[in-house]
Amino acid sequence: MASRVRRTLLNIIPSISESAGQWALQRFSGGLVGQLGDRLTDRFLEVLLYGMDLGFSLSKDYRRNIKDFRGSYVFRTANQRVAASATFADEDMQVQARPVEDWDCRITFKDAAALRRFLFSGNQDILNSLLANEVEVEGNLNYIYRFGFLAKDLGRRLGVV
């Protein structure tokens, strides 16, 4: 999120009701719906990470997925043109538009389409993505399964997965 004030205001919405948070999530995440649906672009990673952050702010139900979870991810393309990090701690997610030094899992992907196939495949077939040289994972593979679950759950909540 851009600021603590904005995050605090967004966190108020699900306290009204979970359905109010779900409505706001669907209302404010149009770009993510397009990226998850049919308009995949190089902005997929950025939109996905900020959409997840928005989801954690607007849905107590979705936020439960990161209760007691601490971890850092680095996502990057093979040519290093796209890089971002996501850090989870204290039931919160921080997104940075650069790689962090201290990571638990680093995912290097060929392109946005390869990352999308990797995260949203029917059974998250990591082996096929690795054998096709589309994705390289370093660190704890359990973290990538968790991230894939979070991404799919968000897509399900938005009605596109």
Domain-by-domain residue ranges, the chain? Answer: 4-158
- Per residue in 116-132, pLDDT tens? 777 776 655 666 776 77
- Per residue in 12-45, pLDDT tens? 666 666 676 666 656 555 555 454 444 444 577 8
What average pLDDT does range 37-63 have in this prediction? 77
**Residue 87 forms beta bridges with which residues?**
72, 94
Separation of alpha carbons 31 and 9, rounded Å: 21
**Helical packing angle, 141-158 and 44-58, nearest 10°:** 70
Whether this model's pTM surpasses 0.75: no
Residue 110: left (phi > 0), alpha (psi -120 to 50), or beta? alpha
Tell me the longest C-alpha to C-alpha distance in the chain: 47
CATH number of 4-158: 3.30.1050.10
Please state, rounded to an integer, the average pLDDT across all residues of the chain: 77
